[in-house]
Structure 1
């Protein structure tokens, strides 16, 4: 796995984790009975985004280590997701096409 793919993997994991962590323990205006006129009762009053970003960073780093380690050690490869055998038996994805008789 190259540097660029490792960074992209971490960024995808970070954003997916962040979208999961955002709604956890949120306090809305309706929950606190402090509804500002002109806003929805479901609008957040206390969102704690800084704390959630730190938690997201830690969880994403752990997931990145597990998934990245599995890719580097060869537990998962591109050939594992080749459901239609388009890559062929050789090292190149055009192996079967180049050896036609």
Structure 2
């Protein structure tokens, strides 16, 4: 894995993790009982948790990326192993 591949992998994992983390702890305006006129009742009621969610996303992504980088750079799984996976199925 080169530098560009590592950055692309981190960015992909980061956005995937962000979309997983976003719904946790989210309360809608209907749940909070304070629907702002002109907005949907399912819209988020409190946007103050963004920094915390972004930090959690970055930490979780760094851990996942670290494990994947360790496996790739440690040659535990190589391209040859991946190219021979179809022989296991046949």
Q: So what's the TM-score if we normalise by structure 1?
A: 0.77
Q: Deviation of residue 30 (structure 1)?
A: 0.5
List gaps (5 residues or longer) in structure 1.
Answer: 86-101
Mapping for residues 2-41 of structure 1, pairs under 5 Å: 2-41=2-41
Whole-Å separation in 2 of the counterparts to 1:2 and 1:55: 26
Q: Which runs of 4+ in 1 moved over 3 A?
A: none
| Structure with the largest fraction of helix | 2
How big is the shift at 1:84?
5.1
Bigger proportion of residues as strand: 1
Aligned residues: 85
Q: Hey, what's the Cα distance between the residues in 1 that align with 2:60 and 2:86?
A: 34
Instruction: Give distance in 1, aligned partners of 2:52 and 2:61.
Output: 14
TM-score relative to the length of structure 2? 0.86
The structure showing larger relative contact order (alpha-carbon pairs under 8 Å, at least 6 residues apart) is 2
